[in-house]
A = this chain, B = another copy of it.
Amino acid sequence: MDIQAYMHSVGRAARAASGVIATAPSEVKNHALKSIAEHLDGARRAVLAANQSDLNRARRQDLDSALIDRLELNDQRIDAMLEGLSQVIELDDPIGVMTNIGKQPSGIQLSKMRVPIGVVGIIYESRPNVTIDAASLCLKAGNACILRGGSESIQSNQAIAAGIELGLEAAGLPRATIQVVNTPDRAAVSELITLTEFVDVIIPRGGKGLIERINAEARVPVIKHLDGNCHIYIDDEADMDMAIALAINAKTHRYGVCNAMESLLVGAKIAPQLLPQLGDAMLSHEVQLRGCDKTCNLIEGAQAATESDWSTEYLGPILSIKVVDDLSAAIAHINQYGSRHTDAIVTDNPRRAQWFVNEVDSSSVMVNASTRFADGFEYGLGAEIGISTDKIHARGPVGLEGLTCQKWVVYGDGQVRK
Contact = CB atoms under 8 A, between A and B. Distances in A.
A392 to B, nearest CB: 4
Nearest to A390: B221
Interface in A13-37: 19, 22-23
A37 B369 CA distance: 45
Interface string A322-363: 000000000000010000000010000000010001110111
| Residue with the highest number of chain B CB atoms closer than 10 Å, among A215, A353, A373, A406 | A373
A104 B113 CA distance: 27
Interface string A389-418: 011110111000000011111111111110
Contact of A357 (B369, B370, B409): B409
A368 B411 contact: yes
B405 A370 contact: no
Contacts of A408: 363-365, 374, 379, 395-397
A359 B396 CA distance: 30
A390 B359 CA distance: 30
Contacts of A413: 242, 368
A128 interface: no
A374 B409 CA distance: 10
Given A253-B417, A417-B253, A364 B23 contact: no
Number of copies: 2
Given A221-B222, A410-B373, A415-B370, A392 B117 contact: yes
A106 interface: yes
Contacts of A405: 391-392, 395
A362 B335 CA distance: 38
A91 B416 CA distance: 26
A378 interface: yes
A417 B373 contact: yes
Contacts of A367: 410-412
Contact of A415 (B104, B108, B115, B369): B369
Contacts of A364: 407-410
Contacts of A379: 101, 104, 110, 408
Nearest to A110: B379
Contact of A392 (B201, B253, B396): B201
Nearest to A226: B196
A205 interface: no
A206 B359 CA distance: 35
A297 B176 CA distance: 41
Contact of A373 (B391, B392, B415): B415
Interface in A178-225: 200-201, 215-216, 219, 221-223
A369 B412 contact: yes
A223 B368 contact: no
B378 A407 contact: no
A365 B111 CA distance: 10
B361 A22 contact: yes
A118 interface: yes
B117 A366 contact: no
13 contacts: A101-B379, A101-B380, A108-B369, A117-B391, A223-B392, A245-B416, A344-B410, A357-B409, A368-B415, A369-B415, A370-B416, A374-B408, A392-B392
Interface of A: 19, 22-23, 96, 101, 104, 106, 108, 110, 113, 115, 117-118, 200-201, 215-216, 219, 221-223, 239, 242, 245-246, 249, 253, 335, 344, 353, 357-359, 361-370, 372-374, 378-380, 390-393, 395-397, 405-417
Given A344-B410, A357-B409, A393-B393, 18 more contacts: A19-B335, A19-B361, A104-B379, A110-B380, A221-B221, A221-B222, A249-B416, A363-B407, A364-B409, A366-B410, A366-B411, A367-B410, A368-B415, A369-B412, A370-B412, A370-B416, A373-B410, A373-B415
